[in-house]
Amino acid sequence: MNKIIIDKQIYDRYITKAFIKDITNKILNELNLDKVEIGITLTDNKTIQELNKQWRNKDKPTDVLSFPIDEKPPAYRYRILGDIVISLPFAKKQAEEIDFTYKEEVLRLLTHGILHLLGYDHETSEEDAKIMFDLQDKIFEKVAKEIK
């Protein structure tokens, strides 16, 4: 049993909290993770741009940001992985550009963000990027078959 905390800051009838919770659990299951806590914020381009500027010194909107914590407080039943922020308008536009459905793109971004929380990286070396993207693709292909 995982603890998934969702902060949906904008209205979107296609990407529901139930959908996010379901696919997050499926991703975590594929990674053999149980008893983890993860925070997911679904927001707009303006908010994610502010976070991107503050934390990465990039003054532009982006699709997904990850804030790893990875700690297990004493007597707390969950391992806290960290927080993920996804811009739903960015994801929707990006889905059209890469010929994914909107839900598939949110799944891809969520998988990407969770892998970052676990320490995977694609910016330091080509070898690390290959490892991360191969795992991301494997999880995506498996979970995408189950989304409606």
Q: Which residues make Cβ contacts (< 8 Å) with residue 123, sequence separation at least 6?
A: 129
Asked whether the predicted pLDDT for residue 29 surpasses 70, the reply is: yes
- Rounded to an integer, the average pLDDT of 87-103 is 97
Provide the pLDDT for residue 77.
Answer: 94
- Rounded to an integer, the average pLDDT of 21-41 is 97
Distance CA 71, CA 58 (A): 27
Provide the pLDDT for residue 39.
Answer: 98
Q: Supply angle C-alpha 135, 118, 78, rounded to 5.
A: 125
Query: Which residues line the annotated binding site for Zn(2+)?
Result: 112, 116, 122
Provide the pLDDT for residue 5.
Answer: 98
Distance CA 7, CA 30 (A): 23
- Rounded to an integer, the average pLDDT of 141-148 is 89
Distance CA 135, CA 145 (A): 16
Confidence at 93, pLDDT banded by 50, 70, 90: very high
- Rounded to an integer, the average pLDDT of 82-99 is 97
Asked whether the predicted pLDDT for residue 12 surpasses 80, the reply is: yes
Please give the mean pLDDT across all residues of the chain.
Answer: 96
Query: Which residues line the annotated binding site?
Result: 112, 116, 122
Domain borders along the chain are 3-144
Asked whether the predicted pLDDT for residue 148 surpasses 80, the reply is: no
Which of the following CATH numbers is that of domain 3-144: 2.40.37.10, 3.40.50.300, 1.10.150.120, 3.40.390.30?
Answer: 3.40.390.30
Provide the pLDDT for residue 123.
Answer: 87
Asked whether the predicted pLDDT for residue 136 surpasses 90, the reply is: yes
